[in-house]
């Protein structure tokens, strides 16, 4: 038995078996090989596979978005055939007698450095493409398509870190816990663990990865923050008791189902749930959320090879609206960028992606993507109580432009004779200090605000939310963040607009009372936190 400690992001406990998820870098580890010939063959067949993937992507994008957007995949296929790139990989395999994955990764680095050194902006922009085609090749070589992985029941996913895309691709029905060497509390992987209501430990350190293999028995104890490898009988017994206690607590909380979200003195504070995909709906219903305060729609785009079509999105939104049966559902428009990336967007590599081309900035720059999403939401809006919300707003012009695209989507639908709800509420996320500070100027333009404390904390305290080392500095309940929240609530109310909180801080039971006293109208949390929050609200005088 060996015990490691980490930071818990969900106070649950599970007994399961290790499943190690290797990072791409690990797949490109240098391995000496006797047979260069075999590695050259592997490289050639991976190349053919990558080219045929790109052909499929080209066709799909042509049909769903257009020729201009599809072109990049044709360029990528041509780059894979480039003589210099191929010669470099071949030479590394032959001269260094190494595996093909390592040769591709090494050639990739060399070409990227060369392109950056040219100083020519066009050449530099091709650097991300080299990385993209090389990653594709490495994936083809290592046969790592996460959605193809057959996870055993009760898998505890162990990894250095998890990207939102990885978490999207895994079969969630088989997962009972997450453990990562790095990671941070407000990362999307942590948020996913809370949504799934499984224990998750972050920042455990790299050492444990060298002590485990697939199938190792393990206890993930999110109550004490311990990872117990090959536990003895005593630890297993204790874990079983804790699991039983948790189950009893869940049963007690279930008595709150159907009860109102109201304080003892009659103040109503709606408790809503956050979701990423329609697959999260059963948990929302099970926990009786009064609505959906944040549908992170970008998860419909992650873990895919190409853009979801308007029809695919329409079906997803329709399903959520119908299932919620008249309760409010706030769809946040695409918040891609920063840690949420999908290769087919072909985003440039940025020095500071959290400060870069993300969320509403990307949507306003690539309106064809934005309008497709808006059309899908409006088409689905006749099936329920839909609201739309724009992420990462900092200025008035962004709201005005975004609303113009809403108008454009509606005009198109009207012209086609397609029905939609004319009165869908449109709101914004307040997740930058700029938006909070000028919330009095923004309020007249929108129907509501929803405060995203995860990003608001990151941008107010200058703390990268992905950086696990910043724990003690990155405090969401910092007075500066709370004051920005208070300003936002006041400004919303003085313009007779309602205001919610949908960041992780909304579920912090130690601070809920302060939010209620500020007058916050709605709190939106992971489904598993809904009933605890309702209980807390009902205890407030």
Binding site for Mg ion (CB under 5 A): 431, 452, 455
Smallest gap from Cβ 453 to Mg ion, in A, equals: 9
Binding at 453: pick from ligand PEP, Mg ion, none (beta carbon under 5-8 Å per type): ligand PEP
Which of residues 455 and 521 has its CB atom nearest to ligand PEP in the complex?
A: 455
Q: Determine the residue with CB nearest Mg ion.
A: 455
332 touches 296 (CB < 8 A):
yes
Count of positions (residues) in the chain:
541
| Residue 381 C-beta: closest distance to ligand PEP, Å | 22
Longest CA–CA separation in the chain, Å: 78
Q: Which of the choices Mg ion, ligand PEP, none does residue 527 contact, using the CB cut-off of 5 to 8 A by kind?
A: none
Catalytic residue list contains 426: no
Q: Which residues make Cβ contacts (< 8 Å) with residue 488, sequence separation at least 6?
A: 430, 435, 436, 439, 449, 451, 499
Among 11, 17, 15, smallest CA distance to 250 is for 11
Cβ nearer to ligand PEP, comparing 278 with 337: 337
CB of residue 509 vs ligand PEP: minimum separation in angstroms? 18
Closer to Mg ion by CB, 46 or 387: give it.
387
Q: Which two tokens stand for residue 369?
A: 């993507």
With CB under 5 to 8 Å by kind, the binding choice for 502 among ligand PEP, Mg ion, none is ligand PEP
Catalytic residue from among 188, 363, 406, 463: 188
Residues that bind ligand PEP (CB under 6 A): 294, 296, 335, 431, 452-455, 502-503
Q: Which residues contact 404 (CB under 8 A, 6 or more apart)?
A: none
Considering Cα of 275, then 280, then 285, then 288, what sign does the dihedral take? Answer: negative
Q: Find the angle CA(362)-CA(364)-CA(369) to the nearest 5 degrees.
A: 70
Tokens read off for 93:
């395999």
Encoded tokens for 235: 């630890």
Q: Which residues of 251-289 are buried (b: 16+ CB within 10 A; e: fewer)?
A: eebeebeeeebebeeebebbbbbbbbbbebbebbebbbb
Q: Are 191 and 504 a contacting pair, CB within 8 Å?
A: yes
Beta bridge partners of 32: 98
Closer residue to ligand PEP (CB): 191 or 406: 191
Active site residue 502: yes
By a kind-dependent CB cut-off of 5 to 8 A, residue 288 interacts, out of Mg ion, ligand PEP, none, with: none
Min dist CB 431 to Mg ion, Å, is 5
Q: How far is the CB of 279 from ligand PEP (least distance, A)?
A: 17
CB-nearer residue toward ligand PEP: 380 or 392: 392
Placement of tokens 């549908």 in the chain: 295
Closest distance to Mg ion from the beta carbon of 361 (Å)? 13
CB-nearer residue toward ligand PEP: 185 or 261: 185
Catalytic residue numbers?
A: 188, 502
């Amino acid at each position: 038995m060996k015990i490691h400690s980490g930071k818990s992001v969900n106070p649950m406990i599970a007994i399961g078996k290790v499943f190690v998820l290797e990072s791409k870098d690990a797949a490109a580890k240098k391995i000496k090989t006797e047979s260069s010939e075999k590695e050259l063959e592997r490289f050639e067949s991976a190349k053919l596979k990558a080219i045929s993937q790109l052909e499929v992507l080209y066709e799909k994008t042509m049909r769903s978005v257009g020729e201009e957007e599809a072109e990049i995949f044709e360029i990528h296929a041509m780059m894979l055939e480039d003589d210099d790139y191929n010669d470099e990989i071949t030479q590394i395999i032959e001269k260094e007698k190494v595996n093909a994955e390592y040769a591709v990764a090494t050639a990739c680095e060399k070409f990227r450095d060369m392109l950056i050194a040219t100083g020519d902006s066009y050449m530099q922009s091709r650097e991300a493409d080299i990385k993209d085609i090389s990653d594709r090749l490495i994936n083809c070589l290592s046969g790592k398509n996460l959605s193809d992985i057959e996870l055993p029941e009760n898998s505890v996913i162990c990894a250095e870190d998890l990207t939102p895309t990885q978490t999207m691709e895994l079969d969630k029905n088989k997962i009972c816990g997450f453990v990562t060497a790095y990671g941070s509390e407000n990362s999307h992987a942590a948020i996913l663990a809370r949504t799934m209501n499984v224990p998750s430990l972050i920042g455990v350190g790299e050492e444990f990865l060298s002590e485990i293999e697939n199938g190792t028995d393990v206890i993930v104890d999110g109550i004490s923050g311990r990872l117990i490898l090959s536990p003895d009988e005593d630890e297993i017994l204790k874990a079983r008791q804790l699991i039983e206690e948790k189950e009893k607590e869940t049963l007690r909380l279930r008595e709150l189902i159907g009860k109102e979200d109201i304080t003892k003195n009659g103040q109503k504070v709606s408790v809503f749930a956050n979701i990423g995909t329609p697959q999260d709906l059963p948990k929302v219903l099970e926990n009786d959320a009064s609505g959906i305060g944040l549908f992170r729609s970008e998860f419909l785009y992650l873990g895919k090879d190409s853009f979801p079509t308007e029809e695919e999105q329409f079906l997803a939104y329709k399903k959520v609206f119908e299932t919620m049966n008249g309760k409010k559902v706030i769809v946040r428009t695409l918040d891609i960028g920063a840690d949420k990336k999908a290769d087919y967007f072909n985003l440039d590599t940025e020095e500071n992606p959290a400060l870069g081309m993300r969320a509403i900035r990307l949507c306003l720059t690539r309106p064809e993507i934005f309008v497709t999403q808006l059309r899908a939401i409006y088409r689905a809006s006749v099936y329920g109580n839909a609201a739309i919300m724009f992420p990462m707003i900092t200025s008035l012009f962004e709201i005005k432009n975004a609303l113009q695209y809403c108008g454009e989507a509606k005009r198109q639908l009207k012209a086609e004779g397609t029905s939609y709800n004319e009165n869908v509420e449109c709101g914004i996320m307040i997740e930058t200090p700029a938006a909070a500070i000028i919330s009095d100027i923004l309020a007249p333009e929108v129907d509501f605000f929803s405060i995203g404390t995860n990003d608001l904390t990151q941008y107010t305290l200058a703390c990268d939310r992905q950086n696990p080392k910043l724990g003690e500095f990155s405090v969401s309940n910092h007075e500066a963040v709370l004051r920005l929240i208070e300003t936002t609530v006041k400004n919303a109310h003085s313009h007779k607009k309602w205001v919610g909180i949908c960041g992780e801080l909304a579920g912090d039971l130690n601070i809920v009372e302060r939010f209620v006293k500020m007058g916050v109208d709605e709190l939106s949390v992971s489904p598993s936190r809904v009933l605890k929050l309702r209980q807390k609200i009902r205890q407030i005088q």
